[in-house]
Structure 1
Amino acid sequence: MSAPERISSRSVTVLDLLSKGELTVRGRVREASNAVLFCSVAHDGEEASCVYKPVAGERPLWDFPDGTLAQREVAAYEISEATGWGLVPPTVLRDGPYGEGMVQLWIEADPSADGLLALVGGDEPDDGWKSVGLADVGEGRTALLVHADDPRLRRLAVLDAVINNGDRKGGHLLPAPDGRLYAIDHGVTFNVEDKLRTLLWGWAGEPLTAEARDVLGALAAALGDGGPGLADRLARLLTADEVAAVRARVAALLVDGRHPEPSGSWPAIPWPPV
């Protein structure tokens, strides 16, 4: 279920390619608020497309320490891999043409994939959809924002609760041609305060699946290991308080046994939502 470890019949892994390969900048993603560079990366006869986000191009945020977004992106990948769900593309922290930054495998979304979000009329979603809430669509009109009742999204909702994702937008969801779902843009994560903002509130208050409980139990065990495992890797990317907060969120999810609900102390849905 995790991201493919090899990109061909050769012995070069994706993480080797991203970590050791030569980065060549091909362009810039202009819509992003921080510097996001589209690159190619080549190593030992292998080549792939990737995204490079240099720390030097990060816009300061009032509620996150400066120069830490790249590390949070890598930490989100580490948690994703630990769950076994492989929801975050392979991601590394390395030096690049503009200094240290996050490098992540480029995922080309499948344009023919079924939609995961929609605006519909009426007060209740159709079968196969979960309600998020009413959205302003202009001229004093509203529509019901819904997302697919999709197990891939449900896993992502659990992951977002663990990493305390403050910015889960629709544009961050990338359905791949092989049917897998990837999620990107995890810089605004791992705050010690509750910052969860997401479009995936459709399961709020509902019991966690048995699969999610098993995954969270395994994650709690991995986070409690002081050896050279997940906890150690997170400690190189986050503060001690932030790692402790991850443990606390996992423990709280296991005790409560339900998907979290909006706290009311923080906007529940990011803006713009897409």
Structure 2
Amino acid sequence: MNDLLRTAELTVIGQVTTASNVTLVCEAPLEDGTELRVVYKPVRGERPLWDFPDGTLAGREVASYLVSDALGWGVIPETILREGPLGAGMVQRWIDVVEDGEGPDPVDLCPAGQVPDGFREVLRALDPAGHPVSLIHSEDPQLYRMAVLDVLINNADRKGGHALAGQDGRVYGVDHGICLHTEPKLRTVLWGWAGEAVDGELLTDITALVKALPGELGERLAEHLTDAEIDALEARGRALLENPVLPLPGSQRPIPWPAF
């Protein structure tokens, strides 16, 4: 898939207008007569942020994918950095999602306290109409891996809409442009497992990740991150291994706004 992402001739067919940065939908014809659909975020369309260096968000998306891929968790769709119709940018495989009405989303709202089986309540609040609601997320093991990944990559923006239920039965995480900062930035809607022990199988994968960072993986990450950012990733991995517990909210803004 990565080879197709690198070589396909992209044609813009639409734009995600709700995104903070320029986010385009592109297609490319394949030899078998089908179309490859991707998300393309050009670097020139990135909105400047006070706490992340300008022009680095696309690279952080790629680096986050490289971490997910090295762990073997498949959380993030295939993601590369390449030239596109508007210059260099992030290109990521498009995910066809389950249609609305076929059950709750991985992260959703429900009437306050009426949490469905297989879900966890994160908080209670008022919706825009003033009705009491609960913010909930699924207990799906795939979403659990996403929560652990967010701790490792220091995800500052895990909104509910960034967790997608794919038609292939998998749960994917998207939008990782503001990750991998050296300072603690974790903001997520996936706090339902806070304070619980990390599964042993995941710790085995994290151990392998930490061991791989001084080698080829670190070299690939260095194309998108600073040495300090890679060192901070390794430190977060070692911290989870030494204290294998998912963290509790530790800031005044533990949940991104808006939450979806």
Matches within 5 A, 1:36-75: 36-42=23-29, 47-75=35-63
Aligned residues: 257
What letter matches 1:159 in structure 2? L
Bigger mean CA deviation after superposition, 127-136 or 84-93: 127-136
The reply on whether 1:82 has 2:66 as its aligned counterpart is no
Q: TM-score normalized by structure 2?
A: 0.93
Give the 3 Å change call, closer, same or farther, for CA 139–42 of structure 1 in structure 2: closer
Q: TM-score normalized by structure 1?
A: 0.88
Which ranges of structure 1 fall in alignment gaps of 5 or more residues?
A: 1-13
Q: Say if 1:24 and 1:39, in contact at 8 Å, map to a contact too.
A: yes
Select which of 144, 153, 164 maps to 1:174. Answer: 164
Select which of 228, 251, 256 maps to 1:270. Answer: 256
1-structure distance, mates of 2:78, 2:38: 10
User: How far did residue 253 of structure 1 move?
Assistant: 0.7
Matches within 5 A, 1:7-156: 14-42=1-29, 47-111=35-99, 112=102, 114-121=104-111, 125=115, 127-138=117-128, 141-156=131-146
Q: 3-state SS of the aligned residue for 1:39?
A: strand
Identity %: 49
2-structure distance, mates of 1:22, 1:120: 43
What letter matches 2:201 in structure 1? E
1-structure distance, mates of 2:116, 2:98: 24
1-structure distance, mates of 2:46, 2:146: 25
1-structure distance, mates of 2:226, 2:143: 28
Q: 3-state SS of the aligned residue for 2:193?
A: coil
1-structure distance, mates of 2:147, 2:35: 32
1-structure distance, mates of 2:103, 2:62: 27
What letter matches 1:17 in structure 2? L
What letter matches 1:57 in structure 2? G
Give the 3 Å change call, closer, same or farther, for CA 138–114 of structure 1 in structure 2: closer
The reply on whether 1:193 has 2:183 as its aligned counterpart is yes
Give the 3 Å change call, closer, same or farther, for CA 244–124 of structure 1 in structure 2: farther
Select which of 214, 224, 227 maps to 1:240. Answer: 227
Q: Say if 2:112 and 2:132, in contact at 8 Å, map to a contact too.
A: no
Task: Report Cα offsets for 1:7-54 as digits up to 9, x if no partner.
Answer: xxxxxxx11111111111111111111111110134666740011100
Q: 3-state SS of the aligned residue for 2:37?
A: strand
Bigger mean CA deviation after superposition, 200-209 or 35-44: 35-44
2-structure distance, mates of 1:59, 1:242: 21
Q: Say if 1:17 and 1:42, in contact at 8 Å, map to a contact too.
A: no
C-alpha RMSD of the superposition: 1.8
2-structure distance, mates of 1:268, 1:194: 11
Q: Say if 1:22 and 1:43, in contact at 8 Å, map to a contact too.
A: no
Q: Say if 2:62 and 2:79, in contact at 8 Å, map to a contact too.
A: yes
2-structure distance, mates of 1:121, 1:114: 13
